[in-house]
């Protein structure tokens, strides 16, 4: 029988040294050395619990009472790797019902959503059971608390990829972006889904570019959407500057008076790309070195002044590369 049927929080905590069933165990004190530099002031309950935990860990006792002790220890310190590892050893040795453990971990995780160890324990349980049926639901509950929770997203991606659960994921991501268009984690998830399903085919690129441009229209200064657009263009055989849908959008946006630093930065990179291809930029197109330098100046003095030195450097870099002049290592990696 699992220890999960009784929750210790329903009753006052009793020290293990005062529990008759633990009289045969000699607690093992923590050894901090003779003169510890910084002595931690543990509560009596914490110290009592871990004194007994160290004792049974040393004995390698796999029992129901040991399992109950790990539950208490995890409640005191849910980030303790050794507690969870030992709990897994007990669960396996005693052949406990892992579905009960899964239910117990849902409560733990929703109270400790940013704790790596609890998510790791959950992942191992799912691997043992080969049952991911509750994982998307769990991560959605965690993400409802914090839509950018790294651990929840990591667990969700692992679950989806391991068990091929991509169906409906783009809809979920779209709902998140409707709630918060700047949610960079949701944009990342969108990329993850497409990259691991259809891939960035011509059809997928067309659809995603149109979707992203629509979001940029709603909020022009949304860095997450501009970064996603750049990621899409990396898969376009024409590069940054030869997708007519994107270039037309950017030029129209600029003519309408939009001066988002992310728009200007993309146009700068388009100019740099063309300059690198033609050795200075074609005179018959709008993506020239001269335009790049002007936009870098605008960014440095008007629209992104906090990075003025960066834009001055980029301006010099583009000019040097267009002339075939040598530049430093950082310069050579630019476009």
- Answer whether residue 42 is part of any domain: yes
Q: Is 47 a domain residue?
A: yes
For residue 60, tell me if it sits in a domain: yes
Q: Which residues have a Cβ under 8 Å from the Cβ of 131 and sit 6 or more positions away?
A: 99, 102
Cβ proximity of 42 and 110 under 8 Å: no
Alpha carbon distance 36, 30 (integer Å): 11
* Contacts within 8 Å (CB) and 24+ apart, 107-115: 108/74, 108/78, 109/138, 109/142, 110/138, 110/141, 110/142, 110/145, 112/78, 113/142, 113/145, 113/146, 113/149, 113/151, 113/152, 114/146, 114/149, 114/150, 114/151, 115/78, 115/79, 115/151
In a domain, 291, yes or no: no
**Domain for residue 45, yes or no?**
yes
Residue 133 has a pLDDT of 98
Instruction: Write the pLDDT tens digit of every residue in 102-115.
Output: 999 999 999 999 99
Any domain includes 17: yes
Residue closest to 74 by CA, chosen among 122, 28, 41, 27 = 122
Reported as a single tens digit per residue, the pLDDT across 11-45 is 789 999 999 999 999 999 987 656 556 556 689 99
Residue 22 lies in a domain: yes
Find the catalytic residue in 59, 114, 148, 293. 114
Residue numbers of the chain with a pLDDT score lower than 50: 1-2, 4-7, 332-335
User: Which pLDDT score is estimated for 334?
Assistant: 46
Locate 109 and state its tokens. Answer: 């995780």
Q: How far is residue 304's CA from residue 109's CA, in Å, rounded to a whole number? A: 41
Task: Please state the pTM of the whole predicted model.
Answer: 0.89
Per-residue pLDDT at 320 = 86
Q: Cα dist. 309→1, 261, 301, 316 in Å?
A: 66, 15, 10, 11
- How many alpha carbons lie under 13 Å from residue 302 in its C-beta half-sphere? 10
CATH at residue 62: 1.25.40
Range of the domain at 19: 11-96
114 catalytic residue (yes or no): yes
Cα angle 134, 140, 141; round to 5: 90
Q: How many domains does the chain have?
A: 1
Does residue 287 belong to any structural domain of this protein?
Answer: no
User: Do 137 and 126 form a contact (C-beta atoms < 8 A)?
Assistant: no
């Amino acid at each position: 029988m699992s220890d999960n049927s009784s929750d210790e929080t329903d009753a006052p905590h009793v020290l293990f040294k005062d529990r008759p069933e633990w009289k045969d165990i000699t607690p093992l004190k923590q050894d901090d050395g003779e003169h510890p530099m910084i002595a931690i002031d543990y509560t009596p309950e914490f110290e009592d619990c871990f004194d007994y935990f160290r004792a049974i860990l040393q004995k390698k006792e796999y029992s129901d009472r040991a399992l109950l002790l790990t539950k208490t220890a995890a409640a005191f310190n849910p980030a303790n790797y050794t507690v969870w590892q030992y709990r897994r050893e007990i669960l396996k040795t005693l052949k406990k019902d892992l579905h009960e453990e899964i239910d117990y971990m849902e409560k733990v995780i929703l109270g400790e959503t940013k704790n790596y160890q609890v998510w790791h324990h959950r992942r191992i349980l799912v691997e043992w059971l080969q049952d991911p049926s509750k994982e998307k639901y769990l991560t959605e509950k965690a993400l409802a608390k914090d839509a950018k929770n790294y651990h929840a997203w990591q667990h969700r991606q692992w679950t989806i990829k391991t068990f091929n659960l991509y169906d409906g994921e783009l809809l979920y991501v779209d709902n998140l972006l409707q709630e918060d268009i700047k949610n960079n984690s949701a944009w990342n998830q969108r990329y993850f889904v497409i990259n691991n399903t259809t891939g960035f085919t011509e059809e997928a690129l067309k659809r995603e570019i149109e979707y992203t441009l629509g979001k940029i229209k709603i909020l022009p200064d949304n860095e997450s959407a501009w970064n996603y657009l750049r990621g899409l263009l990396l898969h376009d055989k024409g590069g940054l500057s030869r997708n007519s849908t994107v270039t037309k959008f950017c030029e129209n946006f600029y003519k309408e008076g939009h001066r988002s630093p992310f728009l200007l930065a993309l146009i700068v990179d388009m100019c740099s790309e063309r300059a690198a291809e033609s050795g200075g930029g074609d005179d018959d197109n709008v993506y020239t070195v001269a335009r790049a330098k002007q936009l870098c100046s605008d960014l440095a003095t008007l629209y992104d002044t906090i990075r003025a030195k960066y834009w001055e450097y980029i301006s010099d870099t583009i000019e040097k590369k267009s002339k075939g002049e040598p530049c430093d290592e950082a310069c050579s990696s630019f476009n």
